[in-house]
Amino acid sequence: MNGNLTLSEAVDKLTREPLDQLKKSLMTFDRGLAKDSINKIIEEGIDPNTVLEVVTATMKVVGDAFASEEIFLPELFAAADTMQTVMPDIEKEIEKKGSNRENIGTVVLGTVRGDIHSIGKTMVGTLMTASGFKVYDQGIDVSSKKFMEAIREYKPDILALSALLTTTAYEQENVINMLKKEGLREKVKIIVGGGAVTQEFADSIGADGYESSAPGAAELAKKILGIKED
């Protein structure tokens, strides 16, 4: 979105349109502006999936500014806090748009061990619920053992694993290996995602699918299970 611009240069280029103002609020950690812009966005009836895309892309810009040391950990937390003020509103809009189909499949979802990034994972759960899946969200920093126990308890069709750190992406492979060891691998389809994951990586660890977005996750799960579109 910002090419090689710094965060403040990117902010200067934004217009007064509500989506741009939402971007600005995330880049300047302004919770009041975030709330005002999300209210305008909802009033204007902008598609919540588009809003989610904008939030994800903007947070990537914020993350890049953190990586290049333009901002530091307190600002990263402040941006995350600002994002958290609008996520429930986006979720509500997605839920309203949700399909009436219920229980098209069961999903166990979580962010893998060592990783506390929750927001993208939670959006995956919301989008999958809105598509008619029953989702059991195990939360963040989830161990292979906890995933295994959840699989025994809920017997899901899909296991969805999220990882945002390069260091924790490998934990997804540990989960898959543990399921193989316990004879559970063939009982569940595994989809992986999160900023640290690519299609190539997903293939290399033997996952059944990868997607880069939360709406994509729901579509992928339907495709893997052979569920036809409405």
What's the min distance (Å) between Cβ of 79 and ligand B12? 6
In angstroms, the CA 61 to CA 2 distance is: 7
User: In terms of Cα–Cα distance, which of 131, 69, 74, 134 is closest to 106?
Assistant: 134
Interacting span for ligand B12 (CB under 6 A) from 12-20, 34-42, 115-123, 173-181: 115-123
What's the min distance (Å) between Cβ of 28 and ligand B12? 14
Greatest Cα-to-Cα distance within the chain, rounded to the nearest angstrom: 56
Please tell me whether residue 156 binds ligand B12 under the rule CB under 6 A.
Answer: no
Q: Residues 170 to 199: which contact ligand B12 by CB under 6 A? A: 191-196
Please tell me whether residue 4 binds ligand B12 under the rule CB under 6 A.
Answer: no
Please tell me whether residue 160 binds ligand B12 under the rule CB under 6 A.
Answer: yes
Give the pairing of strands 189-193 and 209-210: parallel
Which contacts of 199-202 are long-range, i.e. CB under 8 A and separated by 24 or more positions?
A: 201/169
Please tell me whether residue 222 binds ligand B12 under the rule CB under 6 A.
Answer: no
Please tell me whether residue 208 binds ligand B12 under the rule CB under 6 A.
Answer: no
What's the min distance (Å) between Cβ of 220 and ligand B12? 6
Please tell me whether residue 165 binds ligand B12 under the rule CB under 6 A.
Answer: yes
Q: Which of 36, 63, 187, 208 binds ligand B12 (CB under 6 A)?
A: 63
Q: Which of 64, 75, 89, 182 binds ligand B12 (CB under 6 A)?
A: 64
| Contact yes or no for 89/46 (Cβ under 8 A) | no
| Contact yes or no for 162/118 (Cβ under 8 A) | no
Please tell me whether residue 124 binds ligand B12 under the rule CB under 6 A.
Answer: yes
User: In terms of Cα–Cα distance, which of 82, 76, 70 is closest to 30?
Assistant: 82
Q: Is the dihedral of CA 183, 188, 189, 192 positive or negative?
A: negative
| Interaction site with ligand B12 (CB under 6 A) | 52, 55-56, 59-60, 62-64, 66-67, 73, 76-77, 80, 114-121, 123-124, 160-162, 164-166, 191-196, 211-214, 217
